[in-house]
Structure 1
Amino acid sequence: MPKAETGRFAAAVLPVTARTITTDAAGLLAGPVAIPAHGLQMPAYRAAPAGRQGLPVVLVACEIFGLHEHIADVCRRFARQGYLAIAPDPFARHGDAAACTDIPRLLAEVVGPAADAQVDGDLDATVAWAAAQGGDTGRLGITGFCWGGRTAWSYAAHSAALKAAVAWYGPVARSYHAGDPTVIDRAARIRAPVLGLYGAADGGIPVDTLTRLDAALQAAGNTGCEFVVYPDTPHAFFADYRPSYRAAEAEDGWNRCLAWFKQNGVA
């Protein structure tokens, strides 16, 4: 099981920066759990205010680097806001993403095999587990970063139970698993309101692809999605453990994320 509680960061991006945020777990029920998911005891990290039931549920979808300390800390941040936050590790079937130091190999051997159908099923299993733990899955949200940002869009096209999603710099015009449709391809199936948070200087996600997605959503009658594109801002601007971190944009995005969930029934 990934040892997020011990402070293990993704090996591919070490060393971490001095600006890394650490959220205290005092007063929280926080730590690794195992979620039954289609024959796998899937590793996950759970954080919630201790002793409370009926909490709204937020799924936290990881980057390509899998379940590591930054993702665990994001869960604790949500728990501090009164959520049951759960970050599953959908790459666990294929390898240990957090331990991999070779990014091309990571993408080919660990991330690439995780097809949308598998990931959506693993997220469904996570929602079922949250309900069994006393979470209020009638108030269900998802957020994610990079690969996980795309996953937030993808799950919004899959889950009828989802109330809202927040996608941080998730690619919309390409997929990671060969044969999977792009987010633009699945736009007509997205019904939940999605907030997309992006950087204008993200070389891997051209702004024109966001324009194309917005047009596809509008054509499908989904007028509830919004995009925020921060000027002169790179990819992974929320990742405080990496040099790409931009504090002002990250704080603004976090506040927008919390407001989006409250506005759309995930609070």
Structure 2
Amino acid sequence: MQTDPEFDSLVPAQSFDRRRFLVTSLGAGFAAAVQPVMAQTAISTDVAGLLAGEVKVPVGDGEMVAYRATPAGKAKAPVVLVVSEIFGVHEYIKDVCRRLAKLGYCAIAPELFARQGDPRLTSSIPDILANIVNKTPDAQVLADLDACVAWAAGQGADGKRLAITGFCWGGRITWLYAAHNPQLKAGVAWYGRLVGATSEFMPKYPIDLVGQLQAPVLGLYGGLDTGIPLETVEAMEAALKQGNAAARASHIEVYDNAPHAFHADYRPSYRKPEAEDGWQRMLAWFARNGV
């Protein structure tokens, strides 16, 4: 099974053109590129007591589809943005939202690739990267996440108690968003790439933004991750120690025997002990930082 490299692009937010949204519905099931699913380990969370399903979030150039799960009848639930892997908002990401909602959070996972294409329907990881992920501007992603916060607040959630978590590609976005939104209270990045070669479309990596972090981030990484070498994790740890207050309050936990995507319970990479420990650390991190 291939790992999920985080290839992203960045353009100024004001340069966005109005364009057609190619994804207007999330459908059901798991992404084609990760079939067959490890059904014996894939976690399935029911919707009892929840308000859960697709929503449309107004953004600058139209409406973006997202998955929202929140406790039914609960006002002012804290908001957690859930950022997907390169595979988009498929069943695993939806289930993560439901798990969080069962704990009292309003969790929202936007389809951040909606303008570029539907990675859930593409069976080739190189095609997803080349044709969808690489063409999705980071600045667009950050603006879309801001729109989700505003939408959730408009629906009665507490946008002032705001956290973000993301997986693989979403892990890198988590670090970027922590340097973007001063209202953020906490971030938890699951194995997001930290360093890399920059380009016109990708001028910044998390290590370049340490001095701009607005909220502390918990990084959860695998010691056996071949796509994110340990030396890059160690470089990030060193940079955090020399950063601003939010950076110094951040922490990276490395699971020595875990590969990339160790939380992905529907894939062979899943490692139950590390995934469960990371989940508990995430919840404690949110609570410690007021979310």
Q: TM-score, normalised by structure 1?
A: 0.96
Q: Give 5+ residue unaligned stretches, structure 2.
A: 1-23
Answer whether contact 1:88 1:123 (CA < 8 A) is retained.
Answer: yes
Q: CA RMSD in A?
A: 1.3
Alignment of 1:192-231 (within 5 A): 192-221=215-244, 222-231=247-256
Partner of 1:158, secondary structure, is: coil
Deviations 1:53-73 (CA, angstroms, capped at 9, x unpaired): 100000000000001000000
Is contact 2:51-2:72 (8 Å) kept? yes
Matched, 1:92 2:117: no
The answer as to 2:41 corresponding to 1:15 is: no
**4+ residue segments displaced more than 4 Å:** none
| 1:14 counterpart letter in structure 2 | Q
Q: Distance in 2 between matches of 1:261 and 1:233?
A: 23
Q: Quote the residue 1:103 is aligned against.
A: 125
CA pair 2-234 structure 1, distance change in 2 beyond 3 A: farther
Bigger shift: residues 62-71 or 212-221? 212-221
Instruction: Verify the 8 A CA contact 2:211 2:243 in the aligned structure 1.
Output: yes
CA distance in 1, matches of 2:171, 2:234: 17
Do structure 1's residue 162 and structure 2's residue 187 form an aligned pair? Answer: no
Q: What is the Cα deviation at residue 26 of structure 1?
A: 1.1
Distance in 2 between residues matched to 1:162 and 1:143, nearest whole Å = 11
SS at match of 2:51: strand
Cα distance change of structure 1 residues 232 and 189 upon mapping to structure 2, 3 Å threshold: same
- Opposite residue 47 of structure 1, the aligned amino acid is A
Corresponding position of 1:265? 290
Q: Distance in 1 between matches of 2:180 and 2:63?
A: 22
AA in 2 matched with 1:11: A
Query: Residue 120 in 1 paired to residue 142 in 2?
Result: yes
- Kept after mapping to 1: 8 A contact 2:80/2:165: yes
Answer whether contact 1:173 1:182 (CA < 8 A) is retained: yes
Change (3 A) 1:175 1:71: farther
Structure 1 residues 44-123: aligned runs within 5 Å:
44-123=66-145
Deviations 1:59-88 (A, max 9, x none): 000000001000000000000000000000
Given that 1:174 and 1:183 are in contact with CA atoms closer than 8 Å, whether structure 2 keeps it comes out as no
Tell me how far 1:13 sits from its aligned partner: 0.5
* C-alpha contact 2:41 2:265 (8 A) present in aligned 1: yes
Q: Secondary structure at the match of 2:166?
A: strand
Contact between 1:112 and 1:176, CA under 8 Å: does it hold in 2?
A: no
TM-score by length of 2: 0.88
Question: How many angstroms does 1:217 deviate by?
Answer: 2.1
Q: CA deviation at 1:40?
A: 2.5
**How many Å apart are 1:179 and its aligned residue?**
2.9
1:176 and 1:89 mapped to 2: Cα distance? 25
Offset at residue 175 of structure 1 (A) = 7.3
Checking the alignment, whether the CA contact within 8 Å between 1:166 and 1:195 is kept in structure 2 is: yes
Q: Write out aligned runs for 1:23-62 (5 A).
A: 23-62=45-84
Structure 1 gap segments, 5+ residues each: none
- 1:131 matches 2:153: yes
Q: Distance in 1 between matches of 2:146 and 2:67?
A: 16
Identity %: 55
> d(CA) in 2 for partners of 1:78 and 1:21?
13
Do the aligned partners of residues 82 and 10 (structure 1) sit closer, same or farther apart at CA in structure 2, a change above 3 Å counting?
A: same
